């Protein structure tokens, strides 16, 4: 049974709110994808903080009007699953990683900060390390000089102890 007008308005409002705070939206075809796989994809998305839904294209077109993602309306045809995230790479990473192991999920395109992306663009965006990975790398770089200095002091102390005894 279809949605009535009030239910459609609620869906459009919910999607509009998500789009207003999003940096990235990725679209993928999911036809032929078994329910168990779709459930696993949703769990992965939830764990990554990604809003993932199968929606009517006409409702999403209304929701993106007047947003950075309005240019995506042309790509909204056929059975699509929408991945929306505030993290610049999370939406692309979740769908791209899942598409690598499941040929029934086909990346169609997306948008990052108002720029349209094709399939290759989504894959390139997904290859960028996440914010947490970049922070971990930065921390490692910042700790390296301190660790080196501590090792040098330790070696110097050992040399003095050997020279004294």
Rounded to 10 degrees, what is the CA torsion of 142, 127, 81, 114?
A: 80
**Any bridge partners for residue 85, and if so which?**
24
Give residue-wise pLDDT tens across range 46-83: 998 999 999 899 998 998 888 888 888 888 888 999 99
Residue ranges of the chain whose pLDDT lies below 50: none
Its pTM stands at: 0.75
Beta-carbon contacts of 30 under 8 Å, excluding residues fewer than 6 positions away, are 38, 54, 79, 80, 81, 104, 105
């Amino acid at each position: 049974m279809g949605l009535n007008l009030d239910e459609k308005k609620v869906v459009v409002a919910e999607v509009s709110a998500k789009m207003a705070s999003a940096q990235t939206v990725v679209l993928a075809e999911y036809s032929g994808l078994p329910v168990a796989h779709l459930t696993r994809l949703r769990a992965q998305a939830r764990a990554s903080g990604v809003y993932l839904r199968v929606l009517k294209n006409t409702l999403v077109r209304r929701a993106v009007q007047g947003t950075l993602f309005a240019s995506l309306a042309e790509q909204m045809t056929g059975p699509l699953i929408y991945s929306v995230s505030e993290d610049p790479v999370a939406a692309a990473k979740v769908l791209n990683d899942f598409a690598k192991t499941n040929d029934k999920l086909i990346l169609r395109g997306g948008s990052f900060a108002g720029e349209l992306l094709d399939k290759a663009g989504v894959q390139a965006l997904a290859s960028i390390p996440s914010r947490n990975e970049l922070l971990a790398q930065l921390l490692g770089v910042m700790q390296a000089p301190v660790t080196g200095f501590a090792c040098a002091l330790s070696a110097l102390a050992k040399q003095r102890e050997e020279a004294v005894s």
